[in-house]
Amino acid sequence: MKHLLQKLTETMDIPNTQMAAFQKITCLMELVLRYELIEFGSQIPPRPALDRIIHSAITRFTLSQNLLAFRNKQTLDEEGPEISELHEGLFDLLWPRYVKTHMTDYIDRYKFRIRHNKLNIKGKRILDIGCGNGGFTFAMLDEGAASGVGVDFGFESINHALNFASEYEYNAEFSVASAYDLPFNKNRFDFAIQNGVFHHLEDEDKALEEMARVLKPGGEVWYYVNGEGAIKADLLDASREILKDVPSEFIVHVLSTIGLSENKLNYLSDGFKAVYKFTTMAKLTEQLAGHGFSIIRRLSGGMPTDFDKDKIDADPHGKEKWGEGNLRLLCRKEE
């Protein structure tokens, strides 16, 4: 598979005019979505089927190049920003897209996960690190938390969260801050949320140290990062390499004109641009212990598209498809 992804990358290595970038984005979108039909819709061996899909993508893009004779030759290329700047710009572009209907669906998804995992959050003070548009914070408050505080490095994301909290009268505070330098006294919070944020950071240990500082002894954490070994991670890594010089705004614009659902648009935009780190359960357990956290139990996303351990174990090709899966954990800061 990897040699075919390399061939796809080489085939798409042409200047990013608007037409060429459009063809790349739509071709990669189709590649990922066609693989998802195999990933979630069948229990056939995934790699032979995926090889056929990648071959098809190479053929499609090669044929589409005949149309590029009609292109405007001005390119879209941007110099690749630093990782932190890339993520700030990308997520500031995506999170505020959630209008009330989307936000309600998004919050409901987290409320389901809180109930599904029987989290004890009643009356607790919550900190959401990398809160984005505040969806998880709002869900915690709806499920009985006493107060919620969210921090994120994106100004637009925080403005969106503040406006939503004000309009719907949530007991929540939001501010722009770095996970490396949280603006709170030590031992302030009962429960922390780290939901798919630290695997984007260049220094996860520094962020873990800060999270431990502001959490009370005995406080708990919803901790989520991606495990290594999933086939889709290879697809998205190749897609990110191909689109590395295409502005995030153009990717979002193209995907939005196609009529994708908001969740799928955000998922693909994230996957095509954001940088992820992957780990194993063994490495993560050791890393958390090094900062004074023990693992209480493994949590479940509970959705059909989550890579939960029970899904991996039930599928004869689960380990091949999803590797270590989604590593969602309930952790406790040692007293």
Of 277, 248, 242, 316, nearest in space to 27 by CA: 242
Q: Which residue's structure tokens are 């992820």? A: 276
Give the HSE-up count for residue 176: Cα atoms under 13 Å, Cβ half-sphere.
10
Task: Give pLDDT tens digits along the chain (335 positions).
Answer: 889 999 999 999 998 888 899 999 999 999 999 999 999 887 889 999 999 999 999 999 998 887 766 666 666 765 555 656 667 666 666 666 665 667 898 899 999 999 999 999 999 999 999 999 999 999 999 999 999 999 999 999 999 999 999 999 999 999 999 999 999 999 999 999 999 999 999 999 999 999 999 999 999 999 999 999 999 999 999 999 999 999 999 999 899 888 888 889 999 999 999 999 999 999 999 999 999 999 999 999 999 889 999 999 999 999 999 999 999 999 999 98
Amino acid letter at 330?
Answer: L
Residue 316 exposed, middle or buried by CB count within 10 Å (0-12, 13-18, 19+): exposed
In 24-131, DSSP assigns E strands to 125-129
How confident is the model at residue 2, as a pLDDT?
87
Query: So where are the chain's domains?
Result: 2-70+231-273, 90-228+278-333
Return the H-helix or E-strand segment holding 70: none
What is the rounded distance in angstroms from the CA atom of residue 113 to the CA atom of residue 107? 10
90-228+278-333 CATH pick, 3.50.50.60, 3.40.1010.10, 3.40.50.150, 3.40.50.720: 3.40.50.150
How confident is the model at residue 27, as a pLDDT?
96
Cβ pair 124, 150 in contact under 8 A: no
Residue 335 exposed, middle or buried by CB count within 10 Å (0-12, 13-18, 19+): exposed
How confident is the model at residue 111, as a pLDDT?
97
Sign of the alpha-carbon torsion through 211, 153, 144, 104 = negative
Per-residue pLDDT tens over the stretch 117-144:
999 999 999 999 999 999 999 999 999 9
Return the H-helix or E-strand segment holding 204: helix 204-214
Cβ pair 219, 192 in contact under 8 A: yes
How confident is the model at residue 90, as a pLDDT?
67
How confident is the model at residue 288, as a pLDDT?
98
Cβ pair 187, 295 in contact under 8 A: no
Cβ pair 191, 145 in contact under 8 A: yes
How confident is the model at residue 260, as a pLDDT?
87
Rounded to two decimals, what is the model's pTM?
0.90
323 conformational bin, left if phi > 0, alpha if psi -120 to 50, beta if neither = left
**What SS3 class is residue 40?**
helix
How confident is the model at residue 18, as a pLDDT?
87
Q: How many CB atoms lie within 10 A of CB 302?
A: 15
What b/e string do you get for 113-151 counting C-beta neighbours within 10 Å, with b at 16 or more?
Answer: bbeebebebeebbbbbbbbbbbbbbbbbbbeebebbbbb
Parallel, antiparallel, or unpaired: how do β-strands 147-152 and 125-129 relate?
A: parallel
How confident is the model at residue 226, as a pLDDT?
96
Cβ pair 24, 61 in contact under 8 A: yes
